[in-house]
Structure 1
Amino acid sequence: MILQALTRYYQTLADRGEISPPGWNEVRIAYALCIREDGTLEQVISTQTEQKKGSKTVIAPQAMELPAPVKRSSGIAANFLWDSSTYLLGVDNKGRPQRALDCFKAAKELHENLLSQVSTPAARAILAFFQTWQPEQAITHPALAHCLDEILSGVNLVFRFNGTYIQQDSMIRKAWNEHYQAAGDGPSMVCLVTGKYGPVESIHPAIKNVQGAQSSGAALVSFNAPAFCSYGKEQNYNAPTSKYAAFAYTASLNHLLADWEHVHHVGDTTVVCWAKCGGNVYQDFMGWFSFGQSEPSYTLEELQSALKNLCAGNTVELNEELLDPDMEFYILGLSPNAARLSVRFFLKNSFGAFLRNVQAHQQRLEIVRPSYDKSDTISLWKLLSETVNQNSRDKSPAPNLSGDVMRAILTNTCYPVSLLNGVTLRIRAEHAITPGRAAILKAYYLKNPNPDIPKEVLTVSLNPDSCNIPYNLGRLFSVLEAIQSAANPGVNTTIKDKYFNSASATPAMVFPVLTNLAQKHLKQLDPGLRTYYNKQLTAIFSKLGENYPSHLNLPQQGSFQLGYYHQTQARFEKKEEKENV
């Protein structure tokens, strides 16, 4: 399913002229080796350009269409027309000079085999270069002096002759295309992607730019142990994929991962998405709505209006492109796994259905916020950060949590229990209920109903009419904390720091102590303020039974925590209203 969708997407991009043809890939090149017709290295020029990476502008290698890279593990295999200094110059900084010489020899043999019958000046210049270049002269060569350290670090190099790049020579391109089509000696089998019979690939091209994976690339399809094999087949013959399909799915996935503006990182998961018809406008919109990505080319009013219409099933024009809510849309989440990739999730649905699911999730998260919190929604990364200790060195959420939460949001299914556990642990550890944590509690129990936490407490703001005992105990704790703070202005440690966890778990043991303490605090207040707090206490006590519960289970503790948060926010809102009068 994944490979088929990516292969179809490759064909869509090819029809739009947005991706390289079979046998060619976009490669990031840092420097060009300018050579003369006799093969002499004349100069080395930088091909790096200013590029946008997120909100920043950085100097980065330029993307060029070049012959597809070979698959490397620990062996020696050269790329055609481009590579690192190890292959093109026979020298690097890895401390293995003999291996570098062997790599240069492999590159020389490859270029001689492919270009021996090509009679263009560019081809003759390349052959002359490999015949005359002496790797031992690289360190002292004047053309390399200004950039030697960077070149030896492993950046990609390309050849340039007579003012143009070698790969632009039509006869050299033809020689490579013939070589690429003829290469491969895999057995003929039925391709699982296209359904056609023919030779299949034993090793698929590498996938690059997945966060945390090897920089040289990782495999999406791979069999590396006998336990994974069957019927005597080896390696990827267990999942037969034709040469075209292997190239197409890897090329389209690498194309998506190379587009920094539309790649999202959720925990350890790298997420890409695409519409069946191609085009960036679908990705732009999904990035803004689902991942909190800012998109300055659209106004907030335009995006909100488009969202409303798309969720209603109407076609919308945005940035001179039509957004069809019925368009097939795909979302793929990948995580690193040594030299391989793990698929966290792969989801297919209509574009409008994904938006409606995310909108339902955002509506469940709606909760009253402090006045300084101007955000309209809680982005996914912010949601997951509420489960992490922000004082720890590693602020990444649990490995499986990001994928599980993302899948639940996009499919509109129950949230994972690990999300609730993560938030509960942080509340217990920090004795703090942030707007994000309160929103997660509310959303979790709205989607995962529990009889011990009724809907009457799962509201956006305070519900003073609720008769739920745990909820009102949370409200009572907030009022008792306010009384303490009023009696002791500027106090650093409140009852929340000492009693919050025990009050929410075993109220019968804690609240008698706290109410007695509150009576002493009330005596220190002026009559007007004392009356104000007594009225609040009376209203809440009227909703509690004669005895405090001896124990509250986890959902009931969630109700307590929401009651505390709602009451505290209501207190701050009234304070702000008084200050604004």
Structure 2
Amino acid sequence: MILQALVGYYETLAEQEKVSRRGWCRAKVSYALDIDVEGNLLGVISLKQEVERGKKTAWIPQMIEVPEMVSRSSGVSANFLCDNSKYLLGIDKDGTGKRILECFQAAKEKHCNLLEAINNETAAAVKNFFLKWNPDEAKENPDILEKWEDITAGGNLIFYVGAQYAQEDMQIRSMWEEKLRGEEEETKEVCLVTGERAEISRIHTAIKGVQGAQSSGAALVSFNAPSFESYGKEQSYNAPVGKYAMFAYTTALNYLLAQREYVFMLGDTTIIFWAEDGEEMYQSLFRDSMEPTEDNQEVLKGFFSNLQEGRSIDIEGIQINPEQRFYILGLAPNAARLSVRFFYQNDFGNILSNLQEHYEQMKIIRPSFDEYEYLGVWRMLAETVNQKSKDKKPQPNMAASVFEAILSGKKYPESLYSNVMIRIRAEQGRITRGRAAIIRACLIRNHGRQWTKEESFVGLNEQCKDAAYVLGREFAVLEAIQEDANPGINATIRDRYFNSACATPASVFPILQKLKNSHIRKLETGKRIYYEKILTELQGKIEVKEGQSIAFPRRLSLEEQGMFILGYYHQVQKRYEKKEEK
């Protein structure tokens, strides 16, 4: 299904002339070797372009259409008309050697054989260059010597003859495409992607751009050991994919990964996404919705409002079609291969509706300095990680599962809730806006908490009589009393008692009541009366169950602990809100 979606996307891109047709590819090219008909090297032309990277500028290779390049992880295998310095010049940064000369010889034989039947100046120039060039004398050429480090850095080189690149010559292009058609054998099998009988691809083009994978590329479909094979079929014949389908899906995938503005990381997973019709506006809108920035909060608010009320959505003159098919693919590195973390497809409108529901469930009162109404997925997952640790990435499997749950509207993985609880305990009750929002969302979606609009628990719910929630509020008030009685105190009851109070209230709250009595004596009469009134009111909300002698529950379940944390967070925010009003 993944390959079929990518093949369909390739065909859309091909119609829009955004990708190369079969037999050709777009590659990063650093330099062009300017040669004459006799094969003499006239100069080296830099094809690098200056681009802005933040506050700095950088020189990067130019993307040029060249003959399809071979996949090589080891061994000697030359490309046609576009390759690195080892193959086209027979040199690397240290000069030349036996292995490098083998690469040059392979390129020489390939070009001379392919261009033998073509009688024009471009073909003659390339053939004569290989016949005349001596790698041992490369340093004697001033143009090569001047750019030695850059030329031998591994970037691609091409040939420039007269007023055009060699691969642009019409006779050479015709020969190359004719050669590809002639390579197809009579034996054909059914392609698992297209369902048609086709010549099966033995190896698949490498996929480049997945973070953590090999820089030379990694394979999405491959078999490299007998244990993976079946019915005597080796390599990729074990999963027959036709040459056209292979070229189409790898081209589409490499195109998506090259669009860095529409690629983002989630843990160790590289996420790419695309609309079936190839319109980039859907990609842009999805990216902004998943990872909102400080600048687009109001735009998203208006967008989600239109979506909820069923009004049409128009962005930069393009009408958004809610029935547009949309695909999201998560890839993770696995040695020389790629593993699929998840693949999700749905109508664009359904995906955005699920995303809006997620944001609604994550909605919670926030400090005045927090200007983010929508907390992006990456910021959300960062709440499960110790920000003081060296590795700040969330657990890979959990991150992928959370992402899929948001897209599909399914339950969040239980590991999301448990990891947030672990972090709160590890940091002695440090509850951020993000952690409180995650707990609220998990209580609604995973634990079936059904709250009305009046008791939504976005902010403080003063009418709630849930024992765990009330105890959380009470703990926040006791902490406030301690801080008012001891201005500038470094550590409060939260640092010492929060975890115990959250899990086993009956064993801790009597101690906290005694501490409160000593703290409250230090306060002026007005404040003392104010706090005593609040505590009496809160204690009155907790029902003493039959058979119990005390009003504090002995233990709180994980779900109840979540309510305790919400009560504490809401009461603290209410306190800060009053301070700001003053």
| TM-score category of the 2 structures, normalised to the smaller one | over 0.9
The corresponding residue for 1:467 is: 465
Q: 2:558 aligns with which of 545, 551, 554?
A: 554
Alignment of 1:359 onto 2:363: no
The corresponding residue for 1:575 is: 579
Structure 1: give runs of 5+ residues left out of the alignment: none
The DSSP-based 3-state class of the residue aligned with 1:542 is helix
The corresponding residue for 2:517 is: 519
Q: Aligned partners of 1:66 and 1:173: how far apart in 2?
A: 10
Q: Aligned partners of 2:83 and 2:376: how far apart in 1?
A: 40
1:471-486 to structure 2, matched below 5 A, reads 471-486=469-484
> 1:180 deviation in Å?
2.4
Q: Aligned partners of 1:291 and 1:378: how far apart in 2?
A: 8
The corresponding residue for 1:397 is: 394
Deviations 1:10-63 (A, max 9, x none): 111111111111111111112222222222222223222234668976432211
Alignment of 1:349 onto 2:353: no
The corresponding residue for 1:380 is: 377
Q: Aligned partners of 1:61 and 1:332: how far apart in 2?
A: 28
The DSSP-based 3-state class of the residue aligned with 1:216 is coil
Structure 2: give runs of 5+ residues left out of the alignment: 545-549
Q: Aligned partners of 2:181 and 2:311: how far apart in 1?
A: 45
1:118-517 to structure 2, matched below 5 A, reads 118-183=118-183, 185=185, 187-292=187-292, 304-310=301-307, 315-431=312-428, 432-449=430-447, 459-517=457-515
Query: Quick one: which amino acid aligns to residue 435 of structure 1?
Result: R
Query: Quick one: which amino acid aligns to residue 320 of structure 1?
Result: G
1:12-51 to structure 2, matched below 5 A, reads 12-51=12-51
Contact 2:96/2:135 (8 A) holds in 1: no
Query: Quick one: which amino acid aligns to residue 354 of structure 2?
Result: N
Contact 2:30/2:48 (8 A) holds in 1: yes
The DSSP-based 3-state class of the residue aligned with 2:464 is coil
Contact 1:206/1:250 (8 A) holds in 2: yes
The DSSP-based 3-state class of the residue aligned with 1:331 is strand
Query: Quick one: which amino acid aligns to residue 463 of structure 2?
Result: D
> 1:454 deviation in Å?
7.6
> 1:330 deviation in Å?
0.9
Moved more, 24-33 or 176-185: 176-185
The corresponding residue for 1:543 is: 541
Q: Aligned partners of 1:418 and 1:53: how far apart in 2?
A: 37
Q: C-alpha root-mean-square deviation of aligned residues, in Å?
A: 2.2
Q: Aligned partners of 2:459 and 2:139: how far apart in 1?
A: 70
Q: Aligned partners of 1:410 and 1:186: how far apart in 2?
A: 45
1:21-100 to structure 2, matched below 5 A, reads 21-51=21-51, 58-93=58-93, 97-100=97-100
Query: Quick one: which amino acid aligns to residue 122 of structure 2?
Result: A
The DSSP-based 3-state class of the residue aligned with 1:272 is strand
Query: Quick one: which amino acid aligns to residue 512 of structure 1?
Result: P
Moved more, 475-484 or 314-323: 314-323
Q: Aligned partners of 1:402 and 1:52: how far apart in 2?
A: 32
Q: Aligned partners of 1:96 and 1:238: how far apart in 2?
A: 40
The DSSP-based 3-state class of the residue aligned with 1:530 is helix
Q: Aligned partners of 1:484 and 1:318: how far apart in 2?
A: 53
The DSSP-based 3-state class of the residue aligned with 2:192 is coil
Q: 1:358 to 1:188 in 2, by over 3 A?
A: same
Deviations 1:204-243 (A, max 9, x none): 1111101111111111111222232222111111211111
Moved more, 565-574 or 178-187: 178-187
Query: Quick one: which amino acid aligns to residue 511 of structure 1?
Result: F
> 1:109 deviation in Å?
1.3
The DSSP-based 3-state class of the residue aligned with 2:247 is helix
Q: Aligned partners of 1:364 and 1:134: how far apart in 2?
A: 69
Identity %: 49
> 1:356 deviation in Å?
0.4
The DSSP-based 3-state class of the residue aligned with 2:181 is helix
The corresponding residue for 1:2 is: 2
> 1:438 deviation in Å?
0.6
Q: Aligned partners of 1:126 and 1:145: how far apart in 2?
A: 21
Q: 1:68 to 1:555 in 2, by over 3 A?
A: same
Moved more, 262-271 or 248-257: 262-271
Q: Number of paired residues?
A: 574
Moved more, 300-309 or 487-496: 300-309
Deviations 1:303-332 (A, max 9, x none): 544444445555533223232111111111
Q: 1:292 to 1:24 in 2, by over 3 A?
A: farther
Contact 1:331/1:348 (8 A) holds in 2: yes
What TM-score, normalized by structure 1, do the two folds share?
0.94
Contact 1:287/1:293 (8 A) holds in 2: no
The DSSP-based 3-state class of the residue aligned with 1:342 is strand
Q: Aligned partners of 2:461 and 2:96: how far apart in 1?
A: 71
Moved more, 392-401 or 153-162: 153-162
The DSSP-based 3-state class of the residue aligned with 2:244 is helix
Contact 1:33/1:160 (8 A) holds in 2: yes
